[in-house]
Amino acid sequence: MLVLVKVTADAQARARLVAMVAAEGTDDAPDITPSALGPVLCLPDTHVSAAFVRKLERDPAVERVVSVDVPYPLASLAVHPARTVVRVGSVAIGGGSPVIIAGPCSVEGEAQIRAAAREAKAAGAHLLRGGAFKPRTSPHSFQGLGLPGLELLARAGAEVDLPVVSEVMEPGMVEAVAEYADVLQVGSRNMQNFPLLRAVGHLGRPVLLKRGFAATIEEWLLAAEYVLVSGNTSVILCERGIRGFDPLTRNVLDLSAIPLLRTLTHLPVVVDPSHGTGRRDLVVPLGVAAIAAGADGVMVEMHPNPDSARTDRAQTIGPTQLRQLVRQARAVHAVLDAADDCLDPAVGGDHRELAADRSL
Footprint of ligand PEP on this chain (CB under 6 A)? 105, 131, 135, 167, 187-189, 210, 240, 275
Residue 240 binding: pick among Mn ion, ligand PEP, none (C-beta 5-8 Å cut-off by kind): ligand PEP
Assign residue 305 a region (left: φ > 0; alpha: ψ between -120 and 50; beta: otherwise). Answer: beta
Query: How near is the Cβ of 131 to ligand PEP at its closest, in Å?
Result: 4
d(CA 193, CA 198): 9
Write the single-letter amino acid at 333. Answer: H
Q: Which residue is nearest to ligand PEP (CB)?
A: 187
Q: Which of 29, 4, 34 is nearest to 230 (CA)?
A: 34
Of Mn ion, ligand PEP, none, which one sits near residue 310, judging by CB under 5 to 8 A according to partner kind? none
Whichever of 39 and 276 has its CB closer to ligand PEP, that residue is 276
Q: Hey, is 2 helix, strand or coil?
A: strand
**What beta strand segments (E) does the chain contain?**
2-5, 40-42, 62-66, 86-88, 91-93, 99-103, 127-129, 164-167, 183-186, 207-210, 235-239, 269-271, 297-301
Cα 206 from Cα 188, distance rounded (Å):
17
Q: Is 105 in the site for Mn ion (CB under 5 A)?
A: yes
Q: Between residues 186 and 228, which has the closer beta carbon with respect to ligand PEP?
A: 186
Least Å distance, CB 312 to Mn ion, is: 4
Whole-number minimum distance, CB 102 to ligand PEP, in Å?
12
Q: Which stretch binds Mn ion (CB under 5 A): 98-106, 118-126, 260-268, 338-346?
A: 98-106
Name the binder of 276 from ligand PEP, Mn ion, none, CB < 5-8 A by kind. Answer: none
Measured in degrees and rounded to the nearest 5, phi and psi for residue 146 equal: 70, -150
Identify what 109 binds: Mn ion, ligand PEP, none; CB under 5 to 8 Å per kind. Answer: none
Residue type at 335? V
Burial of residue 17, with CB atoms counted within 10 A of its CB: 0-12 exposed, 13-18 middle, 19 or more buried = buried
Q: x/- binding map, residues 294-313, to Mn ion, per CB under 5 A?
A: ------------------x-
Instruction: Give the E-state strand segments of 147-204 in sequence order.
Output: 164-167, 183-186
CA distance 179 to 85: 23
CB of 35 or CB of 274, closer to Mn ion: 274
Residue with Cβ nearer ligand PEP (173 or 336) = 173
Integer Cα distance of 149 and 131 in angstroms? 8
CB closer to ligand PEP, 105 vs 293: 105
**Do the Cβ atoms of 180 and 167 come closer than 8 Å?**
no
Dihedral sign for Cα 38, 268, 332, 307, please. Answer: positive
Tell the smallest beta-carbon distance from residue 148 to ligand PEP (Å).
18
Cβ nearer to ligand PEP, comparing 209 with 221: 209
Closer residue to Mn ion (CB): 182 or 312: 312
Q: Look at residue 135 and give the partner it binds from Mn ion, ligand PEP, none, a contact being a CB closer than 5 to 8 Å depending on partner kind.
A: ligand PEP
Smallest gap from residue 149 Cβ to ligand PEP (A):
12
User: How many distinct helices (H) and strands (E) make up the chain?
Assistant: 12, 13
3-state SS string for 203-234: HCCCEEEECCCCCCHHHHHHHHHHHHHCCCCC
Give the nearest distance from C-beta 276 to ligand PEP in angstroms: 8
- Name the residue whose CB lies closest to Mn ion: 105
Residue 239 binding: pick among Mn ion, ligand PEP, none (C-beta 5-8 Å cut-off by kind): none
CB of 134 to ligand PEP, least distance (A): 7
- The nearest distance, CB 134 to Mn ion, in angstroms, is 8
Q: Phi/psi at 280 (nearest 5 deg)?
A: -55, -40
Q: Of the two residues 188 and 234, which places its CB atom closer to ligand PEP in the complex?
A: 188
Please say which residue, 188 or 277, places its beta carbon nearer to ligand PEP: 188
Q: How far is the CB of 76 from ligand PEP (least distance, A)?
A: 24
Interface with Mn ion by CB under 5 A: which residues?
105, 312
